[in-house]
Amino acid sequence: MYALLVISDKPITANELASTLNISRGNVSMGIKALQSRKLVQVTGDKKEYYKAIGSVIDMANIVFEERRKREVDPTLTLLRNLLLDTHETDSEKYAQQRMQVYTTY
């Protein structure tokens, strides 16, 4: 959906998005809400809403990567750092601690 908005030379209605992409209006609505929450789409129009992309596909990718980092990578690194504080006695635990240390130095 975002790619279509990026390459379009004019703002597009929800019906046009649904028709062009062969998806339901409900899917268009959910997609537009997701894009709006990421500030990647501008809504214009008085009686009928038109949608226009803000930024580029690279901007969208950076936003998605940042969201995934916050949701997936950061909690994992926090867990690894907390585990490094534990005392490790066996060789396997010491090896695991060395491996975890590599990933938490970034």
One-letter amino acid identity for 3? A
For 69, the domain range is 58-103
The verdict on 46 and 83 lying in the same domain is: no
Total tally of structural domains belonging to the chain: 2
What is the spatial distance between Cα 77 and Cα 67, in angstroms, rounded to a whole number? 15
pTM of the model: 0.64
The verdict on 10 and 51 lying in the same domain is: yes
Q: How far is CA 26 from CA 15, 29, 32, 99, in A?
A: 10, 5, 10, 46
What is the spatial distance between Cα 5 and Cα 36, in angstroms, rounded to a whole number? 13
The verdict on 63 and 46 lying in the same domain is: no
Q: How far is CA 56 from CA 8, 59, 62, 96, 105, in A?
A: 12, 5, 10, 41, 32
pLDDT (tens, 9 = 90+) of the chain, 106 residues, equals 999 999 999 999 999 999 999 999 999 999 999 999 988 999 998 889 999 999 888 988 898 899 899 999 899 888 888 888 888 788 888 888 888 888 777 6
Here the CATH number for the domain that contains residue 39 is: 1.10.10.10
The verdict on 17 and 34 lying in the same domain is: yes
Q: How far is CA 21 from CA 11, 17, 30, 42, in A?
A: 15, 6, 14, 19
The verdict on 45 and 62 lying in the same domain is: no
Per-residue confidence (pLDDT) for residue 94, from 0 to 100: 83
